Structure 1
Amino acid sequence: MPADPAESDVTLPGLAHAEARKGAARARKAAKSSQVELAEVDPVARVVLDVPLAHLDRSFDYAVPAAMADDVRAGVRVKVRFAGQDVDGFVVERTAASEHGGSLSPLRRVVSAEPVLSPAVADLCRRVAERTAGVSADVRRLAVPPRHATTEQQPSADAPPLDLRADADQEWAAYPAAAPFLHHVRAGGAPKAVWAAGPGEDWPRLLAALAGAALDAGRGSILCVPDHKDVARVDAALTEVLGEGHHVVLGAAVGPAARYRDFLAVARGKRRVVVGTRSAAFAPVTDLGLVVVWDDGDDLHAEPRAPYPHTRDVLLLRAETEGAAALVGGFGRSVEADQLLRSGWAREIALPREAVRERVLVAVTGASEAELRRDPMAAAARLPRQAFEAIRWGIERGPVLVQTPRAGYALRLACERCRTPARCDACTGPLQIDDPTSPPRCRWCATPAPDWACPECGARGLRAPVVGDARTSDELGRTFPKVPVVSSAGEHVRERVGGEPRIVVATPGAEPVAEGGYAVVVLLDTWLVLARDSMRVAEEAVRRWCNAVGLVRPGGRALAVGDPATPALQALVRWDPGGFAGREAEERRAAHLPPVARLATISGEPGAVDDALTLLDLPDGAEVLGPFPTRAGEQDAEERVVVRVPVALGGELTTALSEMQRLRSARKLDAVRVQVDPLEI
């Protein structure tokens, strides 16, 4: 009887062959490494890989060949051999020795000798990844733009001498608390402030003056704004205040070559003032002295790609680690900015109350559905009489802004007689009208419904309880036939309009800047803004309204159409976004919601979410809510779990989430999406 292979010392032929191949490969690798002449000084390079796997989110040691010794330094791009493949990476450090006991693989090649990942930004990427329970490689992709070899070969021009006006700081004279802040910035300090901009304020010019103060002290600045319209305004203000050649705009809109050229100018220390959107928060500014985020409540500041960092969080983290001054500004105020004040981390910069009252008069006129039906004129034209009077008063003095929450024409239709919602006969989808000459059609399946009849009462007339900017423009054009009416919404957004009398109809965020400011701002359908299903609906409504009223000229007027008893509208009338943010914070404190608590969501297929919860080692005091479907009513929909901890345990939560991600990655489990402190739950 043959011996049992498990009990004998006989090696199976296939296994022996495999072991021999592995041994030969190791021998060839060792021989090849030993043949490479290594650098005499600091022959070890620590490299972070461009691999989005959590269990590989650390540095790896490689040998530096003597031929590459002059080019290998912190921040350069390299190619290395990893797991049998050539992988991109960045050198973060050169050292004299490695803690690895075996032989080190040599660097394959230096992709570019240009150091594009500064030590400060590399450390920032690591800290952001830790805070968001993400992977550093994903953050570095946000921080370092793709290489453009031709551009890299071109030198960056030196900045001209700074010729800052001696009275530049006077731009902030209306704000009593601004003088100490400017003094500390000029002295190289790191003050922290939350700025409540007054209505009608030329905020880009004030930010430019602040950046000029930092530059005059020999320090750099980063100014982050929500979108390209704001970037263009700050860009123009910086050119006017600082002169040409002292700042760059970092953004994808200019194209890869121009973007990389401006990035290199910053990385090489030739430009020290940066303005841009989200990615500008990672700009490698030399001797950073000031970071600014404008309108931090705008959801455009939230990165839509993993690990979903927020511009405000990135900049404040950077201010702490690099000793820079920080300013969070806006016409409105987010709950997070209010928390910075409550915690004592920042001081407030705001106008005195009497100065606010001199700048704008805000009023509210009732516009509930019942009131509109009782007023024949308002019901026919959708606008109350007070709104028409305000517009008429405004166009005698300059441009008028009318903000409406929706783009389009008639977005929701109902029976004219019984108010039953109009539905498609084919799919029961809602009917809408695209323009004055088109018949109703289904919003879901696009089926036209020219002969629609109400199934309840048989009437064929339609009314539009919710209309968009196009319908509003038509109504105002018929009412004021001699006044130009322009629209700014959707894909047709205007950046600026002239100062002559005209009516501008715009959706929130698409309001153009008027030369000299608007004489009157009218906010329509405020009830619709407050009707969204969102944790931040009231905060977002106040922010949108304040941004619109902020475009009024000094001495102008603003009128909101809505219920005067609404707390959000009352905050607008008093121009008290800070007080409203404080009340919102108290409500969130009672509900244990951010920023007084830390939240994380885990989303994915049901099995993947269950695996993630099994691997998650939560701290004591953590609450797990869910799982529940992300899309109610759908079969096989993704599930979501919400994990909540007190804010003091926020660090332990992100550590636990990061460890869970590393275990999942190493075991090759199905993917889940992790978001820390998401804007919406």
Structure 2
Amino acid sequence: MGNDGEQLALVPVPNARRRTPRRAPAAERPVAQDAPVATVAVDTPLSHLDRPFEYLVPAELDEQARPGARVRVRFAGRDHDGFLLTRGDVAEHTGRLAPLRTVVSPEPVLTPPVVRAARAVADHYGGTLADVLRLAVPPRHARAERSVPPEAEGAPSATTAPEAGGDLSPDEAWSAYPAGSALLRRLAAGESPWAAWQALPAQPPERSWTRAVAEAVRATRRSGRGVVVVVPDHRDVARLVPELDALLGPGECVQLTADLGPEARYRAFLSVLRGHARVVVGTRAAAWAPVRDPGLFLCWDDGDDLHEEPRAPYPHVREVLRVRAREEGAALLVGGTGRSVELQAWVERGELPDVAPTRAVVRAAAPAVVVAGEGHQEDRDPAARTARIPSVAWRALRDGLAHGPVLVQVPRHGYVVSLACQDCRAPVRCPRCEGPVGLGAGAAAPACRWCGTAARPGQTCRSCGSHRLRSAGVGDQRTSEELGRAFPSVRVVSSGGAHVVPAVDDAPALVVATPGAEPLAEGGYHAVALLDAWRLLDRASLDAGVEALRRWTAAASLARPPGPEGRPVRVVVCGAPPHGGVPAVEALVRWDPAWLASGELAERVSLGLPPARRHVAVRGPARGVQEVVAALVDAGHVALGPVPAGGADEVQVVVREEGGARPLAAVVHEVRAARSARKAPDVVRTVLDPGDGLL
């Protein structure tokens, strides 16, 4: 573990007007007497340097150079940031060691458990430790560092059981789950169970998923341990924090999200690091929170694509929390109204027991789902199967508006998302970039949605030569306009895109929202219409059916809980084929996401698809992709492709892991290291376990 870059010498520039003063050589600087050798994780993007390096600790930095502190070191002729990992007496490197340049901050921001988890996550995804540490530790903010009080001497210890507030019994929200009370008892007793949780839909506030999460957190805190809760977006954080404050009391919970801003985020991070807060709630950034003595890592709605990290090495929150729970001996709870195929694979492998309500309880809680066009509906309405909003949906919305707000979910944001030929239904494409042509709200003429080029007047269809156009995809804005004309005396609320409405009151209103942007209704919605179901089912994605069900159940779960009057809330699915032939629609009618995930998993096992076998998406210039793929194939794996990938010379190849061959992650790391060592000029992106955008 030597300093590779120390062999490089700086060549003096002749006739230079200014010369930067150089520090004294390492031999002339006094060295710390105790543990003078420090191992440092240098922040470098080069894969072939993915290992710690050894440096000497100068005597003047002895007290500040603590394990976990930020330091600056000389590396390859330049100053680099890094984290001090350990200190010792003997160096493994037999040559000369360079000294630490400086200690940026003595704050030990990188804890040993986080280092171990980061190394495991980097190995799992074929990445580097430096890439993961950039995700795990936020950038330093000096003012925030000064504003957070230091660690209190009388801080609660791991054996102290705090008195949690709240007036509900510990298992009030878990009473519908046969294993719920046992789960909470084990958490309160200091044990670390792992479980997959199938949440019930349409629950009153005292039994909602937020209250269930808060009670699991309270049970864990009673054992004196900390908790990390990760949810998809900031709206979920805003819903969950008041529940936690009500049960735990103020000051126990801190929010940690990427949109807080540099200073607020670093302040929240330090409050957790210094032990002032023992419960962390946040989005993807919270998965690495250095909570003291963690007892529970909880992930809500793991199928949401917001849990996928868009930066290298592209880890998923679900996997990060699993690694941290394993490394730190903590409990793991992954829950949601849907069920991802990856989580179902963990359940069927026996890693996580399934905590789910009985079928009788599910049937009593789930809203009544109606598929437009089924049964005798076509006898009364011949267009029930083909109409965008058939009569059964109109009636459900009209009846629901008599009592309160109703929800209409539209898959796409915008006005007229795309146009097609009226005669042959061929999509209209931009003559400049081949992008989809649509119509914005208030726009006089259609234009390309990619480059903005206006469509030519009188443009003919490439397939049949027709001049007539029709809308092929209608967004939430056009839907709001149509429903506003149909119900002129009713308030219309549109939520989607950059304008997301957090909540609506209990007054009658037509709420039109895109998936994930549905406002929370006070008391719940009195009817739900799921439009254009075919658009979600026809997505070019391996997870199209599972993702469609996840979005539908998330919207239908916002329905009003069953009341004493017994009037059922209707959820109408529009634009879907008969549910007997589409597993996702049948799973919605039965309200059984685990059944769909199990069936999907069985098919993928037989076909060798994720998560049964790992895959890596290799994308970039054709020559570089060919080089990377050749190395992976030589290691025994199978290449699928190539296919064009956007740019003129860009291609993508998916490589499937084969049993008996070397692990795919290890080979990916070796290939990246080899290309990094020889300074390959072309940039090739390798993503293990790629999401829908790449697979």
Given that 2:406 and 2:509 are in contact with CA atoms closer than 8 Å, whether structure 1 keeps it comes out as: yes
Q: Which residue is equivalent to 2:638?
A: 623
Give the one of 383, 393, 399 matched to 2:389. 383
2:667 counterpart residue number: 656
Matched, 1:540 2:547: yes
In the TM superposition, what is the alpha-carbon distance from 1:450 to its structure 2 partner? 6.5
Is residue 43 of structure 2 the alignment partner of residue 42 of structure 1? Answer: no
1:164 aligns with 2:165: yes
Does residue 617 of structure 2 align to residue 601 of structure 1? yes
1:564 alignment partner in structure 2: 578
Aligned AA for 1:516? Answer: G
Distance 1:21 1:296, change over 3 A: closer
Aligned equivalents of 1:289 and 1:358: distance in 2? 34
Compute the displacement of 1:171 (Å): 2.1
Structure 2 SS opposite 1:553: coil
* Deviating more after overlay: 492-501 vs 138-147: 492-501
Q: Does 1:237 align with 2:243?
A: yes
Instruction: Pick closer, same or farther for the CA change 1:168–1:135 going to 2, 3 Å.
Output: same
SS at match of 1:172: coil
| Cα shift readout 1:375-434 (whole Å, capped 9, x = no counterpart) | 587699731000011111211222111101111222233455665655678888654332
C-alpha contact 2:38 2:88 (8 A) present in aligned 1: yes
Q: Structure 2: how far apart are the matches of 1:523 and 1:380? A: 14
Q: Matches of 1:455 and 1:104 in 2, distance apart? A: 69
Question: 1:260 and 1:52 mapped to 2: Cα distance?
Answer: 23
TM-score, normalised to structure 2, is 0.87
SS at match of 1:645: coil
Q: 1:637 aligns with which of 650, 664, 681?
A: 650
Which among 296, 301, 305 is matched to residue 311 of structure 2? Answer: 305
Q: Which runs of 5+ in 1 are unaligned?
A: 1-17, 23-27
Partner SS for 2:229: strand
Indicate the larger mover: 572-581 or 493-502: 493-502
Cα deviation, residue 200, structure 1: 1.6
2:123 to 121, 130, 141: 130
Tell whether 2:605 aligns with 1:589: yes
SS of aligned partner of 1:554: coil
Per the alignment, in what secondary structure is the counterpart of residue 638 of structure 1? strand
How far residue 641 of structure 1 moved from its aligned partner, in angstroms, is 4.3
Residue of structure 2 aligned with 1:675, choices 642, 663, 687: 687
State whether residues 197 and 335 of structure 2, in contact with CA within 8 Å, keep that contact through their aligned partners in structure 1: yes
Residues 241-390 of structure 1 aligned to structure 2 (within 5 Å):
241-366=247-372, 382-390=388-396
When structure 1 is superposed on structure 2, of 355-364 and 261-270 the one drifting more is: 355-364
Which of residues 207, 219, 228 is equivalent to 1:222?
A: 228
SS in 1 for 2:196: strand
Show the counterpart of 1:4: none
Aligned twin of 2:143:
150
Give me the identity figure in percent. Answer: 47
Q: Distance in 2 between matches of 1:287 and 1:398?
A: 46
1:449 Cα deviation (Å)? 5.8
Identify which range, 556-565 or 522-531, moves more after superposition.
556-565
Contact in 2 for aligned 1:364/1:564 (Cα 8 Å): no
Change beyond 3 A, Cα 1:454–1:597: closer
1:57/1:490 CA distance change after superposition, 3 Å: same
Q: 1:426, 1:596 → 2: CA distance?
A: 41
CA change 1:553–1:60 in 2 (3 A) is: same
The gaps in structure 2 that reach 5 residues or longer are 1-7, 13-20, 157-161, 563-568
Partner of 2:80: 87
Does residue 108 (structure 1) correspond to residue 101 (structure 2)? The answer is yes
Q: 1:8 matched to which residue of 2?
A: none
Contact kept in structure 2, 1:46 and 1:60, CA below 8 Å? yes
Matches within 5 A, 1:466-545: 466-545=473-552
Query: Of 195, 217, 220, which aligns to 2:197?
Result: 195
Task: Identify the structure with the greater helix proportion.
Answer: 1
Q: Partner residue of 2:175?
A: 173
Secondary structure of 1:88 counterpart: strand
The equivalent residue for 2:5 is none
- Equivalents in 2 of 1:547, 1:242: separation in Å? 27
Instruction: Pick from 182, 185, 192 the counterpart of residue 184 of structure 2.
Output: 182
Range moving further from structure 2, 53-62 or 412-421: 412-421
Query: What is the RMSD computed on CA atoms of the aligned residues?
Result: 3.0
**Alignment of 1:411 onto 2:417:** yes
Question: Does the 8 Å CA contact 2:370/2:570 hold for their aligned counterparts?
Answer: no
Shift of 1:227: 1.3
- Asked if 1 retains the 8 angstrom alpha-carbon contact of 2:476 and 2:514, the reply is yes
Contact 2:445–2:454 (8 Å) recurs in 1: no
Distance change >3 Å, CA 465–CA 367, structure 1 → 2: farther
The offset of 1:59, in angstroms, is 0.9
Question: How far apart are the structure 1 equivalents of 2:549 and 2:10?
Answer: 71
Distance 1:461 1:618, change over 3 A: closer
Residues of 2 paired with 1:500 and 1:31: CA distance?
75
Per-residue CA deviation, residues 536-581 of structure 1 (Å, 9 max, x unaligned), is 1111111111111111121233111122332211100000000000
